[in-house]
Amino acid sequence: MFDLFFVLIQYSQVGTSLWNFVLSAPDTNSYIAIGFSPNGRMVGSSAVVGWVASGGLATMKRYFLGGQTPSQVLVDQGDLQILGNTSSVFTDSARIYIAFQLVTNQPSERLVYAIGDRNDPVPSAPSYRLPQHRSQSSIRLNYASGQGSQTTAPYSNLKRSHGMLSMIGWGILIPLGAMVARYFKHLDSLWFYMHTGIQSLGFILGLAGVIAGLVLNDRLDANVGKHKGLGITILVLGFLQITAFLARPSVDAKMRKYWNWYHHNAGRLMILFAIANIFYGIHLAKAGSSWNGGYGVVLIVFVIIVVILELKMLRKNRRV
């Protein structure tokens, strides 16, 4: 028996190649699932999923979790052999239970489990499409001792690096460098070196974040097309800003006003895309309120500073 965060896994070996499993969890009026994974990841697992519909009809299905899109989650597929007429799904005392007998010499010790979202309908005929889960975790279970430990999500360090590099580079340093260019030109040439230095560091960190994201996408085969597309767009705008900087005309050139218009507006567009993509990335990663709140506080501080400096600049222009 193994208990983790109100999810209880009970098992026993009842024959040379026969195992009993019972999975229970708080009843969310959705499904519960247990997957047997070759590597600890959800993708590639074969899972048993059970639910009780609102009319009381109990259903259990096998799924192969071939990917993170609905079309890659295949019903009645996978390499699990469930002994016929031994499975059951039921609810009792605000908990839902699924019980089955698995035919195998040794079950995988890497297990993943998930609980469906109460706001989504349970799977139904004919497709039995599996909705997005509310929560998911993975464990490594020693069947002999009954001891298990929660495992970290695959590539969690790479995910964290992607998020931090992108947030600091595109979402903090780039806006900060733009603020320096707008509000600190009275510092003579110092503002220019500050602006280019901050923007260069922001671009380098942001580029590293994009590379980490592309590597992560390749390894996880995640369905993040919009997030990836926005990230590449931001990177292209960053490269264009560097190109514009290297090809900037002299201050007294006729083309300078057009260059200024392009440089300023392309930079603003890049910052807006970056802020939106950071929040979208936090949403996709299910990173929680701490990431949203932390970055939100940074933006609020930026907005307050911008308002104060903008008012000071307006007053100064009026005096002139």
Domain with CATH 1.20.120.1770 in the chain: 156-319
pLDDT for position 3:
45
The tens digit of pLDDT for each residue in 201-243 reads: 999 999 999 999 998 887 766 678 899 999 999 999 999 999 9
Structure confidence at residue 93 as a pLDDT band (50, 70, 90) = confident
With contact defined as beta carbons under 8 Å apart, do 21 and 11 qualify? yes
pLDDT for position 24:
92
Question: Residue 126: is the preceding peptide bond cis (ω within 30°)?
Answer: yes
d(CA 73, CA 68): 7
For the chain, counts of helices (H) and of strands (E) = 6, 12
Give me the architecture of the 2-150 domain, per CATH. Sandwich (2.60)
Nearest to 106 by CA among 183, 16, 31, 224: 16
26 versus 199: the higher-pLDDT residue is 199
Domain with CATH 2.60.40.1210 in the chain: 2-150
Alpha-helix runs per DSSP H in 247-288: 256-285
d(CA 128, CA 149): 32
Q: In angstroms, what is the C-alpha Rg of the chain?
A: 27
CATH assignment of 156-319, among 3.40.50.300, 3.40.920.10, 3.30.360.10, 1.20.120.1770 = 1.20.120.1770
d(CA 145, CA 138): 18
pLDDT for position 252:
86
The tens digit of pLDDT for each residue in 26-67 reads: 888 899 999 999 888 888 899 999 999 988 899 999 999 988
Nearest to 30 by CA among 131, 128, 136, 137: 131
